[in-house]
């Protein structure tokens, strides 16, 4: 039987040459594109049966032009770039990769928090500029540091990532208040209290971490109204999606001092490809959606993508998002 044609539309962002695609190549006739602009999506898929993609938007118009397409394997957990309803209508199976980056994303949450509390980057830069040599004292610091022991981290979205970040916070001596819309009392302990009331997070947290899925209940959860309910000098970390945050309100709270620091691995830039008002703001730390990208995490991701495709070809698909 002829091998199925497989097309990877945006390989480079996930695998910039450091992980082999050979396991997928062994399952079909593979063509790899590093990036694919919108106008070339249908042409590059052509008569292929299988597409592997991360952030390329694929919808009804593509399905209509590519009648052989039967499977989309996502290089991500999120699947908002695919028109799921249309895929189901056209009989196309869409599979994602859940849970591959839990620890890496939680680790990034702590990295952003520690940059705000300890400012390693700021002080390393100062040392490299000669400021330590010039200092009249045996050490110096440019801004006050903050100790985490005894503080409270409030986590909005106490799922796998939130719980992983909570365990890391506990290791720093922080108490955790974990908000979820479903009861999780089995997770309660001396250092962790779960709650169904998000107001508990706003009222009690010294550090607010957003790790929730983006939906109508969590959209714009960080806005002027909710920030006003938080402690003065609160630290806010967004490790989820840009839609959780009203960026202009965060800027205002940074400028007033209500927020001590803001860190995010997600901003409106990824939605608009334009600048965000958060850029170049004092006490604001942005990273370009890289929490998921450690080498070990990406190896795990590719292994799961391979397994998803193998299971599909064997007639037993897993991680199907449009059953």
What SS3 class is residue 72? strand
Cα(268)–Cα(70) distance, rounded to whole angstroms?
A: 33
- Identify which of 146, 147, 184 has the alpha carbon closest to the alpha carbon of residue 162: 184
Q: Could you count the other beta carbons within 10 Å of the beta carbon of residue 115?
A: 16
Of 175, 289, 298, 319, the active-site residue reads: 289
Nearest one of 4, 139, 145, 97 to 302, comparing CA atoms:
97
Angle, helices 160-171/102-118, rounded to nearest 10 degrees: 40
Whether 270 sits among the annotated catalytic residues: the reply is yes
Rounded distance, CA 156 to CA 178, Å? Answer: 6
CA–CA distance, 184 with 304 (Å, rounded to integer): 28
Q: What is d(CA 288, CA 304) in angstroms, rounded to the nearest whole number? A: 24
Catalytic residue among 241, 244, 260, 298: 241
The rounded radius of gyration (Å) of the Cα atoms in the chain is: 22
For residues 289 and 279, give the distance between their C-alpha atoms in angstroms, rounded to a whole number: 14
Q: Are 184 and 210 in contact (CB under 8 A)?
A: no
* Annotated active-site residue in 203, 219, 270, 300: 270
Whether 60 sits among the annotated catalytic residues: the reply is: no
Q: Coil, strand, or helix at residue 48?
A: coil
The 3-class secondary structure across 156-216, one letter per residue, is: ECCCHHHHHHHHHHHHCCCEEEEECCCCCHHHCCCCEEEECCHHHHHHHCCEEEECCCCCC
Q: Is position 289 annotated as part of the catalytic site?
A: yes
Catalytic machinery residues:
241, 270, 289
């Amino acid at each position: 039987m002829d091998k199925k044609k497989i097309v990877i539309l945006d390989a480079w962002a996930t695998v910039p040459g450091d992980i082999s695609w050979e396991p997928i190549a062994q399952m079909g006739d593979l063509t790899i594109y590093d990036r694919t602009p919108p106008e070339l999506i249908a042409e590059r898929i052509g008569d292929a049966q299988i597409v592997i993609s991360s952030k390329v938007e694929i919808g009804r118009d593509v399905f209509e032009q590519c009648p052989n397409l039967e499977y989309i394997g996502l290089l991500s957990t999120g699947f908002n770039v695919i028109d799921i309803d249309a895929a189901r209508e056209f009989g196309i199976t869409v599979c994602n990769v859940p849970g591959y980056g839990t620890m890496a994303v939680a680790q990034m949450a702590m990295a952003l928090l520690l940059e705000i509390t300890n400012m390693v980057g700021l002080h390393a830069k100062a040392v490299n500029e000669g400021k330590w040599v010039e200092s009249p004292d045996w050490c110096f610091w440019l801004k006050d540091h903050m100790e985490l022991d005894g503080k409270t981290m409030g986590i909005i979205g106490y799922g796998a990532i939130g719980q992983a970040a909570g365990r890391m916070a506990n290791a720093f001596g922080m108490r955790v208040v974990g908000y979820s819309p479903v009861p999780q009392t089995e997770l309660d302990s001396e250092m962790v209290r779960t709650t169904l009331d998000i107001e508990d997070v706003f009222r009690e947290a010294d550090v607010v971490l957003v790790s929730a899925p983006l939906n109508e209940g969590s959209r714009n959860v960080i806005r002027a109204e909710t920030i006003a309910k938080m402690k003065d000098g609160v630290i806010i970390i967004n490790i989820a999606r840009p839609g959780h945050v009203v960026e202009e309100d965060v800027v205002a709270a940074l400028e007033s001092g209500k927020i001590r620091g803001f860190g995010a691995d997600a901003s409106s830039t990824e939605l608009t490809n334009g600048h965000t008002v958060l850029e170049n703001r004092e006490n604001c730390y942005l990273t370009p959606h890289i929490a998921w990208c450690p080498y070990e995490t990406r190896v795990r991701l590719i292994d799961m993508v391979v397994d998803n495709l193998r299971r599909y070809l064997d007639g037993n698909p897993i991680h199907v998002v449009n059953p």
